[in-house]
Amino acid sequence: MLGRLDVVRLAPRRVVDVGCGAGRGLLALKKRYPQAELVGLDFAPGMTRAARAALAPPAPGFFTRLRARALQARPVAHIVAADAHALPLADSSVDLVWSNLALHWFESPERALGEFHRIARPGALLHFSFFGVDTLAGLRALGARTMHFHDLHDVGDLLGAAGFAEPVMDSERLALSWADAAAMLADLRALGGNALRGRFRGLLGRAQRHAWLRELESLRRTDGRLHVSVELVYGHAWCPQRKRRADGLVPVEFVSRAAIGRYPRAQ
């Protein structure tokens, strides 16, 4: 994500990290854009607490207290617990909307992208990533209940529908492997599970867990390890200089005949 910003000429005044998690992305963004105001948003209160702790000044000491006073005047980032479908930010107030591995959590990605467009200033950049539709395909083929992963082509269409211009989407596939099935399940659980409303809400018993461990053995290859793949999708788009309004209308500029007469006619 950070490397892809190397080819972009951008000096943002305000940067928003939607789905900031524990705040590591905000620290990296602060190093890249030290003069920018940073805002971190996450729906999970536990994540916002972790982000505030990660961005807090070090343990107190004489010089640390002096440094902390300076930080209080301008904190590394403002951390807010908020829903991506209803961002607590003013219209056209952000120069860079950053969202790393968060879109697949959103119940309605079209609403989230609409909010990204609403808060973006004309000329702002949207830069994001998410797990694509082929993520954990091998597990789903075995009947695993996972969250819904979006197709990059669908998300590209949603960007245009939201009002963004020049969308670019691409992906890469990561091959992951484990020595045993229990370790695989532990890592997949660490991703956070399935937060969507339609998820299975019951608890699985030990018998079902052991059955799953046996089922996962079908993913073992000749190297003796269990393999699954992850599709990592990257996207970026620009907010047009002539921005569509929130009601869906686009301003129309009327030019006088005198002004038209100053331009040569097409041959």
CA distance 80 to 43: 8
Question: What percent of the chain shows pLDDT beyond 90?
Answer: 62
For the segment 198-212, the average pLDDT, to the nearest whole number, is 78
- Neighbouring C-beta atoms of residue 81, cutoff 10 Å: 16
Reply yes or no on whether the pLDDT at 150 is more than 50. Answer: yes
Residue 262: pLDDT band (50, 70, 90) is: low
Residue 225: pLDDT band (50, 70, 90) is: very high
Reply yes or no on whether the pLDDT at 67 is more than 70. Answer: no
Q: Are 244 and 163 in contact (CB under 8 A)?
A: yes
CA distance 94 to 36: 10
Higher pLDDT, 37 or 188: 37
Higher pLDDT, 148 or 176: 176
Q: Are 164 and 126 in contact (CB under 8 A)?
A: yes
Residue 148: pLDDT band (50, 70, 90) is: confident
Reply yes or no on whether the pLDDT at 264 is more than 80. Answer: no
Reply yes or no on whether the pLDDT at 106 is more than 60. Answer: yes
Q: What is the pLDDT of residue 145?
A: 77
pTM over 0.75, yes/no:
yes
Residue 178: pLDDT band (50, 70, 90) is: very high
Which is nearest to 145 in space by CA: 194, 183, 101?
194
Reply yes or no on whether the pLDDT at 97 is more than 70. Answer: yes
Extents of the domains making up the chain: 3-174+232-242
For the segment 161-171, the average pLDDT, to the nearest whole number, is 96
For the segment 105-126, the average pLDDT, to the nearest whole number, is 95
Q: What is the CATH topology of the domain spanning 3-174+232-242? A: Rossmann fold (3.40.50)
Residue 267: pLDDT band (50, 70, 90) is: very low
* 232 strand-pairing partners: 131, 172
